[in-house]
Chains A and B, each alone.
Chain A
Amino acid sequence: MDLEVQGRVKELAQEYGKDNLVILLGAPNVDAAQVQFETMTRGDPTFVGPLAGVELGLEVYHVFEEPVKSAIDPARYSELIETLELGLESDSIVAALQQARIG
């Protein structure tokens, strides 16, 4: 995950508190989604960025996941996201994040 983004999220978590933050991912594949999820929860797995060794434990969702989908106006979701959902490995991404939450 981009080092600047890591730094910004760290600042926001300090400013607003972890409980007041939700991270929404738009990663296009399983690998990127997994690395971003890990960075936002257990820390930067590469140990290079500001979140190296920092376990924020934030709540993380992907835009393809049901809790997010159902919060978006269906017409807008269909217009903006549905094509991407059909073209990308959305089922695998959702399954990977569900697994990551358990693990």
Chain B
Amino acid sequence: MPGFRVMHYVNQFFAGIGSEDKADVAVGSIAGPVGPGKPLQQLLGDAAEIVITSYCGDDYFANHIDEAVVTITNIARQHKIDLLIAGPAFTSGRYGFACAEVCHGVSAALAIDCVTAMHPENPGIETYKQYKDRRVYAFPTSEIASGMRDALAKMAAFSQKLLATSPLGRPHEEGYTPRGFRVDTFKSQNGGQRAVQMLLDKIAGRPFVSEIPVETLDAVPVAPPIADIKRACIALVTTGGIIPPGNPDGFRGFQNIRWGKYSIEKENSMRDREWEVLHGGYNTEFMKKNPNWGVPLDACRLMIKEGLFSRLHGHFYCTPGARGLLSIMHRLGHEMALEMQADGVDGVLLVST
């Protein structure tokens, strides 16, 4: 009987609960391996036993992140697990995000290793990199589920290594996505010699590996200027975390995945109404005293009177932007923009916080 106990986390589909129609199912668990957990168990062999499979609906997780992670962590604790395997999630964004959050929560609470896998462009990879947990490892997968066997094999092999406390190589040796930890090592050549050698390799078309990978971001094309600003309709957008009292849309202080819009039709200043400010990235006291700093409604009303532009959109758009994942913010912005376009908005004022 294997000595090590493993929990496998999957979403509602891989747990066999259902498809999108069951994406709102709450956290649950099933004894033993389920679905892809079965071949995973075969690959783990006698090294470990999947004693419990926990699952959660993708939508339920997204709307109850903290509560779901606590519940899943408690399941792991109750079953005295030694290691967590989550996924693989491939390109499923909600599932990948859930795997990254579950691994973060469980490894932090229980001080155990967690292994997950998803496509490199899955938004969950950004979460994984942001958390930078020493005991969480994410392996790259193919885009579609036909890469399942390969993904399971990678996760199982690495899990066996972790459980055996075998010495681990660098990410590119082990195959997992780097988390960004800097490790001191000795080199036989000094930095200048290595840099020159790298340059010679590059010029000669030989392969080389940069010691400091430079992250590049896609260039965002700049929109043309508004042709007639005096007749324009402007919308206000804030990432400063100004929200209605009681936080009815359930925002978090950081890493939000949704946006809200709130009416400012009847107001001439943000101080005409009560607002809360929720943002994990700055001291919000000044904003609470005067939310016009984040949503410059008072200034805009004045500018309209002065004829600087014609109309202010009746709602402002909001998401608390702290630690926002690039891919998520890209999606939120796109959704907001589609709605604004339909409403005849010509331009957006997004005040820096």
Structural contact, A45 and B145, CB atoms closer than 8 A: yes
Structural contact, A48 and B13, CB atoms closer than 8 A: yes
Q: Contacts A52-B35, A53-B39 given: A47-B146 contact, CB under 8 Å? A: no
Residues of A within 8 Å of B149, CB to CB, are 45
Q: Is B16 an interface residue (CB 8 A)?
A: yes
Structural contact, A46 and B14, CB atoms closer than 8 A: yes
Determine the residue in chain A with the shortest Cβ distance to B147: A45
Q: Is B148 an interface residue (CB 8 A)?
A: yes
Task: State in angstroms the CA–CA spacing of A45 and B37 once bound together.
Answer: 12
Residues of B within 8 Å of A35, CB to CB, are 144-146
Structural contact, A46 and B38, CB atoms closer than 8 A: no
- Whole-angstrom distance from the CB of B220 to the nearest CB of chain A? 28
- Whole-angstrom distance from the CB of B40 to the nearest CB of chain A? 9
- Whole-angstrom distance from the CB of A89 to the nearest CB of chain B? 15
Structural contact, B144 and A47, CB atoms closer than 8 A: no
Task: State in angstroms the CA–CA spacing of A53 and B149 once bound together.
Answer: 11
Q: Contacts A53-B38, A53-B39 given: A48-B146 contact, CB under 8 Å? A: no
Taken residue by residue from 40 to 71, chain A's Cβ proximity to chain B (1 for < 8 Å, 0 otherwise) reads as 00000111100011000000000000000000
- Whole-angstrom distance from the CB of B299 to the nearest CB of chain A? 49
Residues of B within 8 Å of A46, CB to CB, are 13-14, 35-36, 145, 148
Structural contact, B38 and A52, CB atoms closer than 8 A: yes
Which residues in window 287-315 of B have CB below 8 A to A? none
Determine the residue in chain A with the shortest Cβ distance to B18: A3
Residues of B within 8 Å of A38, CB to CB, are 146
Q: How large is the interface on B (under 10, 10 to 19, 20 to 34, 35 or more residues)?
A: 10 to 19
Structural contact, B38 and A31, CB atoms closer than 8 A: no
Q: Looking at the complex, which one of A31, A34, A47 makes contact with B35 (CB distance below 8 Å)?
A: A47
Structural contact, B38 and A47, CB atoms closer than 8 A: yes
Q: Is B143 an interface residue (CB 8 A)?
A: yes
Q: Contacts A47-B38, A48-B35 given: A34-B144 contact, CB under 8 Å? A: yes
Structural contact, A48 and B38, CB atoms closer than 8 A: no
Residues of B within 8 Å of A48, CB to CB, are 13-14, 16, 35-36
Structural contact, A47 and B36, CB atoms closer than 8 A: yes
Task: State in angstroms the CA–CA spacing of A52 and B147 once bound together.
Answer: 14
Which residues in window 1-59 of B have CB below 8 A to A? 13-14, 16, 35-39
Task: State in angstroms the CA–CA spacing of A55 and B147 once bound together.
Answer: 16
Structural contact, B36 and A31, CB atoms closer than 8 A: no
Determine the residue in chain A with the shortest Cβ distance to B10: A48
Residues of A within 8 Å of B35, CB to CB, are 46-48, 52
Task: State in angstroms the CA–CA spacing of A79 and B176 once bound together.
Answer: 50
Residues of A within 8 Å of B13, CB to CB, are 46, 48
Q: Contacts A45-B149, A48-B16 given: A31-B39 contact, CB under 8 Å? A: no
Residues of B within 8 Å of A52, CB to CB, are 35, 38
Task: State in angstroms the CA–CA spacing of A31 and B144 once bound together.
Answer: 7
Task: State in angstroms the CA–CA spacing of A48 and B148 once bound together.
Answer: 11
Residues of A within 8 Å of B36, CB to CB, are 46-48
Task: State in angstroms the CA–CA spacing of A52 and B39 once bound together.
Answer: 10
Specify which of B14, B37, B39, B148 lies most central, judged by the most chain A CB atoms within 10 Å of its CB: B148
Please give 10 more A-B residue pairs, beta carbons under 8 A apart, in addition to A31-B144, A46-B14, A46-B35: A38-B146, A45-B145, A45-B148, A46-B145, A47-B36, A47-B37, A52-B35, A52-B38, A53-B38, A53-B39
| 5 residue pairs, one from A and one from B, having the closest CB atoms | A47-B36, A48-B35, A45-B148, A45-B146, A46-B145
Residues of B within 8 A of A (CB): 13-14, 16, 35-39, 143-149
A-B contact pairs, 30 of them (CB 8 A): A31-B143, A31-B144, A34-B144, A35-B144, A35-B146, A38-B146, A45-B145, A45-B146, A45-B147, A45-B148, A45-B149, A46-B13, A46-B14, A46-B35, A46-B36, A46-B148, A47-B14, A47-B35, A47-B36, A47-B37, A47-B39, A48-B13, A48-B14, A48-B16, A48-B35, A48-B36, A52-B35, A52-B38, A53-B38, A53-B39
